[in-house]
Structure 1
Amino acid sequence: MTSVSHDPHPMASPSEVVPTRTAGIGSVLTWTVAVLACLWLALCTAVGPLYWKDSSIARFSWLNGFYGVVSFAIYLGIVMLLVRHGRGAGRSRRRRHDTDAAPSGVRRLAVRIATRTAGWRRVLSRAVIHGSDAGWKIMLVLLIGWMWIPLTLVSAFGADVFSQFKEFSWAWNQWTGVQQPYIGFFSFVPMDIYPTAHYLWPAHATYLTDQHNIVLTVLYGATGTVSRFLTGGNDWGLAALSLAQLVFAAFCCASTANRFLNSPWLGRRHAWGAETRHPGRPERGPATSPVDFSRPERGMSFRPTTAIRVWTRTIPRTPSPDFAGSGMRVLLLVFFLTCPLVVFSTISLTKSPVFAFAFVWWFGIGYEMRRTAFSPHDEHATRDAASRGGHPRSMRRSSLVGLAVSGVVMLISAKYAWYIILITAVTVVLSDRRRWRAILVSMVLPALLVHGGIALLISQGLIINGDPIESRGVQLQQIARIAQRNPDAIPQKARTEMAPIFNLDQMAEAYTPYDADPVKSSGIQSKKVSYRWRSVTRDDLSRFNDAWLRIVLSDPVTAIDAFLAKSFGYFNVCDHPYVAMDYYVDNDYVRNSTDWIGHWNSAGRSSIVGFARQWSDIPVLGWVTHGNLYVTLTLLVGAAEVVLRRWRSLAWHIPLLALMGVMIMAPANDFERHMLPVVFVALFLALQFHRESRGSGTAAIERRHAKER
């Protein structure tokens, strides 16, 4: 007989070694990205105490290092826990332990309490689910829950809406024959309040600009004009705009909540009704009852044929983990109904809330597109299963229309939406190439039409383009800080190149670490004219980057200070907002620039804002009212998704990273209205991560059991 040797450690074939080595390199790269994200968050936490005192990173001490090390350990630990949860590690072990372990006294007490309260919990769960199993029901809950906002606060706004009113009224006077020539320095025309370089102005006079997005300017301005014509003031127009925005916010949040909670694309089975099983009638089959009324995705159980009465409700045809239980529904509704960031945004007339609510709608449709990428049997497929392919389910026509409309609203409310939509379109097509037609029709074409239409109006001289200096906040802060703290370091050549564009002395005087608006001469009161917008030319601005680089290289430490001081608050959960959303509810414009809104429930307005600020000031508990908490958690979840290589989900989450870049480039640090899109979708992102983790864990357990068998 021929003996066969069994090598306990056989050498792997080359075909087996290469994938393992590639997987190892990929794991290193993905973890490197996660570590870098944690290092950035730790740095922003560590330098916070320095910039709260207007100090410098040059004074970084051991205490700051301690803050950085501790925060890095916390953030990396959170990522590791998320990755562990995402891989389903320990889940089967916990289940086995729960099954085999003898019940302890505490555990027996918990079981007894749960048993005795099961009836009440079942009733409450059924009520919560029944009250939120459709989009219109969720919208109705939000509208009822938000009804107090327009009744007590009416409207919220700042300087921007009055600038838009003025801009439109000047244009209206011009259209109706009341010519108003550009006038002197102390009576600013609209494009001088937020300075727009005069070289951008057309040859013939026009008063409409794209500074605050031309469509919103026309909408707000026209509403204000009608209000003044009918009532003699702006107040009723402001109230109407805020009410319309609140209804739009309710629709957007309800639409996305319905997609995440109810998976409406899966179809429905039963409507609410009664079903009776009688004993002794075997031809009717055994009686069925839900395994858990609060968790319908667990399906139905068979019971002996006894006389019972079973109430069923609308549930998916196929039991789906995408159908949320009552706990998640309550959490989401409580967040949207009570968080000051959401509540105050519903009526705040500034472009950021409009963009943010439209983004919520858009993000929810993206979730539906992600979940319908495979057939229902592959809904929670792992990467191995996904690599085998699958036919995408058809997107509902209403969802494709909603994707286009929400994108258009984003485009008309924020100019950077153009970049976000295009970046997302590219990443989604790369991750799901079979959807390229839907992406082209519902995302790319609307973006091209809106962006191209506005560009055409600008080229025809009908409106004035926004000044590109608005996007150079970081550079302006670096130049201004060096001019203020170390002016002798600035090279003479840089001074010469900068002279036609900015007055360096005025920049130094106007510099504030948190806000770049004074440096670029925005506003009208006590204005430092550092930006020479009246005389600067396109050729002058072409030398700006060269001068900026020379100045930064002359004092890189101060330049780093300027960058961090303007951006660290967005990623430091301990930092209080520079401008919170409650500012728009109670300020001088609301109180002194209105006929009756400022006097309507004046004491109540102050009490509401005071309560929100007191809540915000509570250590740790107040963090839930700060936008930077949700930005930080979103970045950590994104890092975990990179490690888990959930590329299809990341394709729809890339916009969140792009929005963080917008925050850094924004004029002010920790300005809450710039964080609203991330805040509004943070819980939905967490829910999606949990569901995909549950699906991955289940698949891993099934593979393990198959190997054991």
Structure 2
Amino acid sequence: MPLMSEVHKTVGRGSKAVSFLSWALGVLACLWLAWCCAIGPLYWFGTGLSDFGWLNVLYMVVAFVAFFAILRSLVKFGRGRRVLPEYFRYRRERLRHEVAGTPTTVLGIMLRHLSDAMRSRPGRALHAVVIWVGRKLTRCTDSWWKLMLLFMVGWLWVPTTLLAAFGADIRSQIREFSWALNQWTGLKQPYIGFFSFVPMDIYPTAHYMWPDSPTYLTDQHNIVLTVFYGAVAAVSRFFTDSNDAGIVVLAVLQWLFAAFCCAATANRFFNLPWRRLGVGTFDFSHPERHDCWNMRDFAHPEAGVVPRPSRLRAGAKTRLAIILFFMVCPLAVFSTISLTKSPLFAFAFVWWFGVWYELHMTHIKAMPTINGKPVRLRKRSIAAFIIASSVMLISAKYAWYIIVFAFLLALCNDRKRWKTYLVTLLLPTVLIHGGIVALTNTGAIIGGDPIESRGIQLQQIARVAKYNPQGIPKDARKKLDKVFNLDQMAESYFQQDADPVKSSGIQSKKVSYKWRTVTAADMKDFNKAWLEIVKANPVIALDAFFAECFGYFNVTDLPYVSMDYYVNNDYVQEDNDWIHSYNHDWRDRVAGFAKGWGNIPVLGWVTHGNLYVTLTLLIGAAEVILRRWRSLSWHLPLLLLMGVMITSPANNFERHMLPVAFVFGFLCLQFWRESRNARLAASAAE
């Protein structure tokens, strides 16, 4: 007995420690969000942390209280407890009894009239219409092909009236492929020379990385996409003497891919097709475990089963809310035809996220079987997982980090299905990422410049050079002299974007990064020089860091570049052959409406990605506190995506938030389902 008592005490202390640490992480998440909200005004008006005052402290306290209240409500809801205080329940009961009798308050009289109106013939008819619409919506979204048809119809106006949306990236990709095609056909072109200017100099790749044998293809914008986009544009030029037709074809293909990805994932979350199709073995000794079958006769199990609607299938209101987001929100609408790598990655991630949900729901602890073996992933889902992973890998360089991280988590969480993860996650990563690395090492293509991943460091150096040039140590200045022109860095510095400091842009740009003359040996001392500068100017360095990333976690911050930019920028509206002539004014009106909606306080937040990033972070913190480790294991890639946002070259760049925004509705649905199970368990315990 004493031994058992000691064991219970040890377990109790361990549980309290885990609870304390999980709440500490939740508080840290709220503090980070509140901090980003508090410092926003400092950077909106061009100041910095040195001007942080009591007003910012008050702003931070109010924001923290709001975020912590949301987190606490999520935790209560997740545990099956009442979210609102008992007072509200008491008031609701009093109003209900008052309406049932003779109402004496203004609110009671209004509710009584509303109740009478609902019981009237028009009210009953309206209720019947709402029920009918809900049933029809559920029936129209009970399979992936119906959902895809719905997305295509809802988005049909986008490619037909806007044709395509794009920026500088696809033009650079087309230019790269054109130069490579000229080389393959025997046309001599300039390569390395001080006065030559080739595609690799626009988003500059240091010349020391170029192979001796001329090549004009780079992995700057992902080599597979560069070749595909460039080849389609080349075919378009062959038949129409213009790139425009090829660009429109690419936009339509991405539109179709977006509709398919959203439909496939919505089908998995709405309808749980693996249950309806009878994945796994039916356990006749525990029929209550399976909510997709009814036994014909419990006394005669040999009579078999009949299907019935799952109690876990999403209701009409949930389906409407998620579909409405994709149909109306500019983030999703404009992304369908925006030919830049982030939207393509985002839609592939949505598809990938849906397959993860199927894996989560068919885990051996979620769907027990007779023999205790895990449920095998459906063949179509295996194919979907492989293709989605591959598209992610060819569209974003950081995708392989996310996939490898997810693979390691899957091995810890679901070891019995390790072969599935090996084939669907690790194999595509090795083939695609490994193939690109091999092409780079053999000199067939030019790899991306490592300077691209050092945006935060560059911004910190440039801000110090601008605001405190005398504060740069002589040793650090000497180490950086062969890599950067510090005077040009100071002049090019823009706190929202690191591209000017990297000399990205057209030929007339300011040369702050000496990509033509820098060598690999010169770059070895870069980190040491950066560290010396940061130590000498810690406040300015922190200013540069926060100014480049605070907007991703500040719901009141307007995007630096929103998705409507790709609809009506100069590349679309002027610098092309005939796309600009098609519905020119209509594109301006559509983009202007989206911009105006986004500028409305509070109501415009739903059009901004940082709202969904903030709420996703709070849901993740709630899952940590609720110790939903299995759910958290396939949600952690969302946290990695937030890390990508922080290290990206621009602040509040909306396209980087697309993956998180697109899966937010599905994340909420899954959180609600798991919380529903907790509520049912709590009710049973009472």
Q: TM-score, normalised by structure 2?
A: 0.90
Match of 1:310 in 2: none
Match of 1:55 in 2: 47
Q: Distance in 2 between matches of 1:100 and 1:658?
A: 48
Q: Distance in 1 between matches of 2:343 and 2:656?
A: 9
- Correspondent of 1:521 among 498, 503, 507: 503
1:402-455 CA-to-partner distances (Å, cap 9, x unmatched) read: 111100000000000000000111112212222211111111111111111111
Match of 2:186 in 1: 177
Match of 2:154 in 1: 145
Q: Distance in 2 between matches of 1:92 and 1:554?
A: 50
Specify whether residues 390 and 629 from structure 1 end up closer, same or farther in structure 2 by C-alpha distance, changes over 3 A only. farther
Q: Distance in 2 between matches of 1:453 and 1:568?
A: 36
The one-letter amino acid of 2:79's match is R
Match of 1:444 in 2: 426
Structure 2 residue 375 is matched with structure 1 residue 401: no
Q: Distance in 2 between matches of 1:260 and 1:189?
A: 48
1:449-483 CA-to-partner distances (Å, cap 9, x unmatched) read: 11111111111110000001100000000000001
Shift, 1:549, TM fit: 0.2
Deviates more, 1:433-442 or 1:206-215: 433-442
Q: Distance in 1 between matches of 2:197 and 2:632?
A: 46
Q: Distance in 2 between matches of 1:375 and 1:316?
A: 24
The 8 Å contact of residues 268 and 317 in structure 1, kept in 2 or not, is answered as no
The one-letter amino acid of 1:243's match is V
Specify whether residues 184 and 601 from structure 1 end up closer, same or farther in structure 2 by C-alpha distance, changes over 3 A only. farther
1:594-644 CA-to-partner distances (Å, cap 9, x unmatched) read: 111111011111110111111011110000011100100110100101111
Shift, 1:392, TM fit: 2.6
The one-letter amino acid of 1:455's match is V
Structure 2 residue 93 is matched with structure 1 residue 84: no
Match of 1:254 in 2: 263
- Correspondent of 2:348 among 358, 363, 370: 358
**What SS does the aligned partner of 2:516 have?**
coil
Match of 2:236 in 1: 227
Q: Distance in 2 between matches of 1:414 and 1:575?
A: 26
Q: Distance in 2 between matches of 1:587 and 1:365?
A: 36
The 8 Å contact of residues 510 and 528 in structure 1, kept in 2 or not, is answered as yes
Structure 2 residue 458 is matched with structure 1 residue 476: yes
Shift, 1:85, TM fit: 0.2
- Correspondent of 1:673 among 648, 655, 658: 655
The one-letter amino acid of 1:229's match is F
1:499-534 CA-to-partner distances (Å, cap 9, x unmatched) read: 111111111110000000000100115411011111
The one-letter amino acid of 2:76's match is R
The 8 Å contact of residues 54 and 513 in structure 1, kept in 2 or not, is answered as no
1:265-290 CA-to-partner distances (Å, cap 9, x unmatched) read: 00259xxxxxxxxxxxxxxxxxxxxx
- Correspondent of 2:6 among 10, 14, 25: 14
The 8 Å contact of residues 38 and 72 in structure 1, kept in 2 or not, is answered as yes
Match of 1:619 in 2: 601
- Correspondent of 1:136 among 141, 145, 161: 145
Match of 2:543 in 1: 561
Q: Distance in 1 between matches of 2:469 and 2:252?
A: 50
The one-letter amino acid of 1:634's match is T
The 8 Å contact of residues 375 and 393 in structure 1, kept in 2 or not, is answered as no
The one-letter amino acid of 1:514's match is Q
Specify whether residues 110 and 135 from structure 1 end up closer, same or farther in structure 2 by C-alpha distance, changes over 3 A only. farther
**What SS does the aligned partner of 1:516 have?**
coil
Unaligned runs of 5+ in 1: 1-9, 270-296, 301-314, 380-388
- Correspondent of 1:645 among 619, 627, 649: 627
The one-letter amino acid of 1:633's match is L
1:198-227 CA-to-partner distances (Å, cap 9, x unmatched) read: 111111000000000000000010011110
**What SS does the aligned partner of 2:307 have?**
coil
Match of 1:512 in 2: 494
1:309-348 CA-to-partner distances (Å, cap 9, x unmatched) read: xxxxxx9936534301110111111110110011111001
The 8 Å contact of residues 293 and 306 in structure 2, kept in 1 or not, is answered as no
The one-letter amino acid of 1:63's match is L
Q: Distance in 2 between matches of 1:587 and 1:96?
A: 53
Match of 1:326 in 2: 316
Q: Distance in 2 between matches of 1:238 and 1:187?
A: 28
Match of 1:281 in 2: none
1:333-374 CA-to-partner distances (Å, cap 9, x unmatched) read: 111011001111100110000000000000010011001103
The 8 Å contact of residues 190 and 196 in structure 2, kept in 1 or not, is answered as no
The aligned runs of 1:527-546 (5 Å cut-off) are 527-546=509-528
Match of 2:677 in 1: 695
**What SS does the aligned partner of 1:13 have?**
helix
Specify whether residues 525 and 628 from structure 1 end up closer, same or farther in structure 2 by C-alpha distance, changes over 3 A only. farther
Q: Distance in 2 between matches of 1:390 and 1:564?
A: 50
- Correspondent of 1:589 among 571, 575, 579: 571
Match of 1:34 in 2: 26
Specify whether residues 523 and 185 from structure 1 end up closer, same or farther in structure 2 by C-alpha distance, changes over 3 A only. farther
**What SS does the aligned partner of 1:581 have?**
coil
The 8 Å contact of residues 156 and 242 in structure 1, kept in 2 or not, is answered as yes
The 8 Å contact of residues 346 and 662 in structure 2, kept in 1 or not, is answered as yes
Match of 1:312 in 2: none
Specify whether residues 196 and 91 from structure 1 end up closer, same or farther in structure 2 by C-alpha distance, changes over 3 A only. closer
1:634-690 CA-to-partner distances (Å, cap 9, x unmatched) read: 101001011111111111111110000000111100000111111110111111111
Q: Distance in 2 between matches of 1:135 and 1:694?
A: 25
Specify whether residues 572 and 316 from structure 1 end up closer, same or farther in structure 2 by C-alpha distance, changes over 3 A only. farther
Q: Distance in 2 between matches of 1:418 and 1:440?
A: 14
The one-letter amino acid of 2:316's match is S
Structure 2 residue 192 is matched with structure 1 residue 192: no
Structure 2 residue 63 is matched with structure 1 residue 71: yes
Q: Distance in 1 between matches of 2:632 and 2:381?
A: 20
Match of 2:286 in 1: none
Q: Distance in 1 between matches of 2:613 and 2:11?
A: 35
Shift, 1:536, TM fit: 1.2
The 8 Å contact of residues 428 and 648 in structure 1, kept in 2 or not, is answered as no
Specify whether residues 299 and 197 from structure 1 end up closer, same or farther in structure 2 by C-alpha distance, changes over 3 A only. same
Unaligned runs of 5+ in 2: 100-107, 279-290, 295-304
Match of 2:170 in 1: 161
Specify whether residues 495 and 91 from structure 1 end up closer, same or farther in structure 2 by C-alpha distance, changes over 3 A only. closer
The 8 Å contact of residues 609 and 657 in structure 2, kept in 1 or not, is answered as yes
Count of equivalent residues: 647
The one-letter amino acid of 1:171's match is A
CA RMSD between the two structures:
2.6
The one-letter amino acid of 1:518's match is P
The 8 Å contact of residues 73 and 83 in structure 2, kept in 1 or not, is answered as no
Match of 1:572 in 2: 554
1:138-162 CA-to-partner distances (Å, cap 9, x unmatched) read: 1101101111111111011111111
Match of 2:104 in 1: none
Q: Distance in 1 between matches of 2:84 and 2:396?
A: 47
1:160-193 CA-to-partner distances (Å, cap 9, x unmatched) read: 1111111000000101111212266566211100
The one-letter amino acid of 1:87's match is R
Q: Distance in 1 between matches of 2:306 and 2:74?
A: 29
Specify whether residues 87 and 501 from structure 1 end up closer, same or farther in structure 2 by C-alpha distance, changes over 3 A only. same
Q: Distance in 2 between matches of 1:71 and 1:316?
A: 52
1:514-566 CA-to-partner distances (Å, cap 9, x unmatched) read: 00000010011541101111111111111111110000000000000000000
**What SS does the aligned partner of 2:142 have?**
coil
Deviates more, 1:433-442 or 1:401-410: 433-442
